[in-house]
Amino acid sequence: MAEALYGPEGYYTNPRSIIGPRGDFTTTPKLTKLLAQKISEWLESAWQRQNRKLPVIELGPGDGTLARDIRNSLGFFTRQKLDYHFVEISPYLAKQQQEKNKGTWHATLSEALSATRGEALIISNEFFDAFPVRIFNHSLEELYLGPKKEEIWQPCHELPDSFLFKDLPLRFEVAESIRQWFQSDLSKLKKGEILTVDYGGDSEEVYHRRPLGTLRAYTHHMRLLPPDAYQNPGKQDLTFDLHFPDLIKWGEKIGLETDSLITQAEFLGTDDLEGAGEAFKVLHQKMGDTRPF
């Protein structure tokens, strides 16, 4: 999955239309400016809580639409002094972002936090759902793919750290790569706050909707489930539903405190409780002054 998305011939590392009508999927910022307006309000309130205007770091900024609209939603003088950093692995998407925005670009969050001396407000929209996952079944066998992309289940000898193991669905994903990223990159945050917008929930909510697992591919706005999702690696998006209790748990292990976890509808102040407004969640975490050893 990592090779298909981020390798030399990966989906996100090669020039192609990804987002929008000519791409494979669309995102909330392409449909409405309301998310950008609400995030700009969140930034203003976070600056008040922090008693100063910390730099802003956006993870996986897409084509730059969200950043542009956030900037436009802020006051004139705030926009002029805004210290905005982009974390983007794709040269192609970075070029699109630069056409719409001013700021500083980095390949990793570690680089961005080094530039901001470990202090920042970190925001993301549909960033974590593109991390590689491990897939297990109820018997705790792990999924592998054979030479012809056929599914092969093998006994698992090293279980990841996840809340999912308390109540096992028939088939489920664990994004251990996110836990590793928390430890390698996000742990460098010394002071600040994090706002994560993504689709998912707890295990009951996620796997009630998708009892056979959530991994899927998108190509030309069509959803492909396994085994079709394994075909054409590097030419279609791969994604899954986030298990937010894991993000909270892994955040606590690096010193983050959870402020709130609400639906996107609640965050936006809308009544969209049937579609994306309910499926998407908004997680707010803070890094305090004390850090665990």
pLDDT tens readout for residues 153-169: 999 989 999 999 888 89
Domain that holds residue 272: 2-287
Cα distances (angstroms) measured from residue 86 to each of 52, 97, 186:
20, 9, 15
Assess if residue 292 is contained within a domain.
no
**What pLDDT sits at residue 292?**
40
pLDDT tens readout for residues 53-99: 999 999 999 999 999 999 999 998 898 899 999 999 988 889 999 99
Would you say residue 290 has pLDDT above 50? no
Residue with tokens 């809308």: 270
Assess if residue 57 is contained within a domain.
yes
Assess if residue 293 is contained within a domain.
no
pLDDT tens readout for residues 262-281: 999 999 998 877 667 689 99
Assess if residue 127 is contained within a domain.
yes
CATH of the domain at 177: 3.40.50.12710
pLDDT tens readout for residues 12-35: 887 776 666 666 566 676 678 999
Mean pLDDT of 232-261: 95
**How many whole angstroms from its chain centre is CA 20?**
18
pTM over 0.85: yes
Using 50, 70 and 90 to split pLDDT, how confident is the model at 293? very low
Assess if residue 95 is contained within a domain.
yes
More confidently predicted of 194 and 275: 194
**What pLDDT sits at residue 95?**
93
Query: What is the total count of domains within the chain?
Result: 1
Would you say residue 289 has pLDDT above 70? no
Assess if residue 113 is contained within a domain.
yes
Would you say residue 195 has pLDDT above 50? yes
Assess if residue 195 is contained within a domain.
yes
